[in-house]
């Protein structure tokens, strides 16, 4: 179906941070499938895990036990809680499904009459009807009205507005991105997440953190909320979880997760062995390679190089999730020029380009990408 624009190039092979098109041309991948292939393309450990599992067992459904899923859930619980909290995990197939689970859980866990999920303007939580309703971008709602009820929005990074909205007796949860990705790679003020945690505690509502794009090392911490030392009641993730194999997860602390009973929620493919083999291998590599530290170090190098370029007004973000706001040229023109030069980028706002390379990116490839970005920027500004 024509739900996407015509693709400018078709890729046939990838290795690490490099992609090759049908004509054999090489590109540096600084999109990573939208923050998905955080270990790069065709990582040998993930390939080996998938190959072995494909020869063993692909799928049995959640009617039966699955030791792989249990082990992955334990790892996620450790990475999220840092040994200070315990929770349960629901496995699914995408970030939108993870958020759907979170919203249903909020309704089940809340007191009678509490069903409204409050989110923020500029947010993005998915393309299903419920997650689209939670997304704070009215222009994306227009063609699909009437939208599902039970969602409200307040300005991002505004604690007073959040407190006012959550004072509604019908409020059940607040959903927030610790860094807004599609909203322009926007990092909130220090203390915002901690303030939300305090407000939610005082009013007896859940704090849901959407870490679909920011989770698993991307920002220099396992999860972006950890930069402020807070722990949400519910955490959603996907993208990097399987390094490209479709998989999502919704984690909730034990008290919140206990609101679900058998039959309340399900998905046929969630947590199936092939997906769990990919996740287990991906997480093992991430821990072994200390991707959080790598993202911090590489992100600083990339940020400094970008900030020095003419035509760059601001560099926002954390770790290896960066948004470059341009001063005098359209983001789409820079993206097109970069593609022509052999560098993959994408535009998230009219004036903002997003960079999300592999967390295993080398310094040499970072420097090459900075040179290509500078060439593309100069070309788009009419200076190349």
Q: In whole angstroms, give the CA distance from residue 232 to residue 225.
A: 8
Is residue 37 a part of any domain in this protein? no
Whether 356 contacts 327, CB under 8 Å: no
One domain for residues 258 and 329? no
Q: Please give the radius of gyration of the chain, using alpha carbons only, rounded to the nearest integer.
A: 21
Which domain-ending residue is among 243, 270, 289? 289
Which domain-ending residue is among 263, 289, 315? 289
pTM above 0.75, yes or no: yes
Give, for all 384 residues of the chain, the pLDDT tens digit: 999 999 999 999 999 999 999 999 999 999 999 999 999 999 999 999 999 999 999 999 999 999 999 999 999 999 998 777 799 999 999 999 999 999 999 999 988 999 999 999 999 999 999 999 999 999 999 999 999 999 999 999 999 999 999 999 999 999 999 999 999 999 999 999 999 999 999 999 999 999 999 999 999 999 999 999 999 999 999 999 999 999 999 999 999 999 999 999 999 999 999 999 999 999 999 999 999 999 999 999 999 999 999 999 999 999 999 999 999 999 999 999 999 999 999 999 999 999 999 999 999 999 999 999 999 999 998 864
One domain for residues 140 and 189? yes
Whether 379 contacts 337, CB under 8 Å: yes
**DSSP annotation string for 227-289:** GGT---SEEEE-GGGGTTS--EEEEEEHHHHTT--TTS---TTTT-HHHHHHHHHHHHHHHHH
Which domain-ending residue is among 260, 289, 318? 289
One domain for residues 296 and 376? yes
One domain for residues 248 and 196? yes
Is residue 104 a part of any domain in this protein? yes
Q: Where would I find the H helices in the chain?
A: 32-35, 44-54, 67-81, 95-109, 129-134, 138-141, 159-166, 192-203, 254-257, 273-289, 291-307, 331-341, 363-380
One domain for residues 84 and 191? yes
Is 239 a known active-site residue? yes
Is 269 a known active-site residue? no
In three-state secondary structure terms, 26 is strand
**DSSP annotation string for 307-338:** HTSTTEEEEEEETTEEEEEESSS-HHHHHHHH
Pairing type for strands 248-253 and 234-237 reads antiparallel
Q: How many domains does the chain have?
A: 2
Is residue 5 a part of any domain in this protein? no
Is 11 a known active-site residue? no
Is residue 105 a part of any domain in this protein? yes
In three-state secondary structure terms, 51 is helix
Is residue 300 a part of any domain in this protein? yes
Is residue 343 a part of any domain in this protein? yes
Sign of the CA dihedral running 249, 254, 259, 264: positive
What pLDDT sits at residue 383? 63
Diameter of the chain measured on Cα atoms: 62
CATH number at residue 134: 3.40.640.10
One domain for residues 236 and 332? no
Catalytic residue chosen out of the listed positions 29, 30, 225, 239: 239
One domain for residues 16 and 91? no
Catalytic residue chosen out of the listed positions 210, 225, 233, 373: 210
One domain for residues 152 and 100? yes
Is residue 36 a part of any domain in this protein? no
Is residue 131 a part of any domain in this protein? yes
One domain for residues 281 and 306? no
One domain for residues 247 and 325? no
CATH number at residue 26: 3.90.1150.10
Catalytic residue chosen out of the listed positions 30, 91, 103, 124: 124
One domain for residues 215 and 97? yes
One domain for residues 190 and 274? yes
What pLDDT sits at residue 81? 86
Q: Which residue range(s) make up the domain with 273?
A: 47-289
Q: In whole angstroms, give the CA distance from residue 216 to residue 237.
A: 8
Question: Across-strand partners of 89?
Answer: 251
């Amino acid at each position: 179906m024509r739900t996407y624009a015509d693709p400018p190039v078709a890729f046939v092979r990838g290795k690490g941070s490099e992609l090759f098109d049908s004509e054999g041309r090489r590109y540096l991948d600084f999109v990573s499938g939208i923050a998905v292939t955080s270990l790069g393309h065709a990582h040998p450990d993930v390939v080996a895990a998938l190959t072995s599992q494909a020869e063993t067992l692909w799928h049995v459904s959640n009617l039966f036990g699955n030791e792989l899923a249990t082990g992955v859930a334990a790892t996620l619980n450790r990475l999220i809680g840092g040994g200070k909290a315990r929770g349960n995990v629901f496995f699914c197939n995408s970030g939108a499904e993870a958020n759907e689970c979170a919203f249903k859980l909020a309704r089940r866990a809340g007191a009678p009459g509490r069903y409204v999920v409050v989110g923020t303007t500029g947010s993005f939580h998915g393309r299903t009807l419920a997650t689209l309703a939670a997304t704070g971008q009215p222009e994306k709602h227009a063609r699909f009205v009437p939208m599902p009820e039970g969602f409200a929005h307040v300005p991002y990074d505004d604690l007073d507005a959040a407190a006012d909205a959550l004072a509604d007796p019908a409020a059940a949860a607040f959903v927030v991105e610790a860094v807004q990705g599609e909203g322009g790679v926007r990092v909130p003020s220090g203390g915002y997440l901690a303030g939300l945690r305090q407000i939610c505690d005082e009013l007896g509502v859940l704090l849901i953190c959407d870490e679909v794009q920011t989770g698993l090392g991307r920002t220099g911490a396992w999860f972006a909320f950890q930069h402020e030392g807070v722990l949400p009641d519910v955490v959603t993730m996907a993208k990097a979880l399987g390094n490209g194999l479709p998989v999502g997860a919704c984690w909730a602390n034990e008290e919140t997760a206990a609101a679900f009973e058998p039959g309340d929620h399900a998905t046929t493919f969630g947590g199936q062995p092939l997906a769990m083999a990919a996740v287990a291998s991906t997480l093992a590599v991430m821990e072994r390679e200390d991707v959080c530290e790598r993202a911090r170090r590489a992100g600083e190098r990339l940020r400094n190089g970008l900030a020095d370029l003419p035509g760059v007004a601001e560099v926002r973000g954390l770790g290896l999730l960066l948004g470059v706001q341009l001063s005098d040229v359209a983001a789409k023109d820079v993206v097109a020029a970069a593609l022509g030069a052999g560098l993959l980028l994408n535009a998230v706002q009219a004036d903002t380009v997003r960079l999300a390379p592999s967390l295993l990116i080398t310094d040499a490839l970072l420097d090459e990408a900075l040179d290509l970005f500078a060439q593309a920027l100069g070309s788009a500004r009419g200076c190349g």
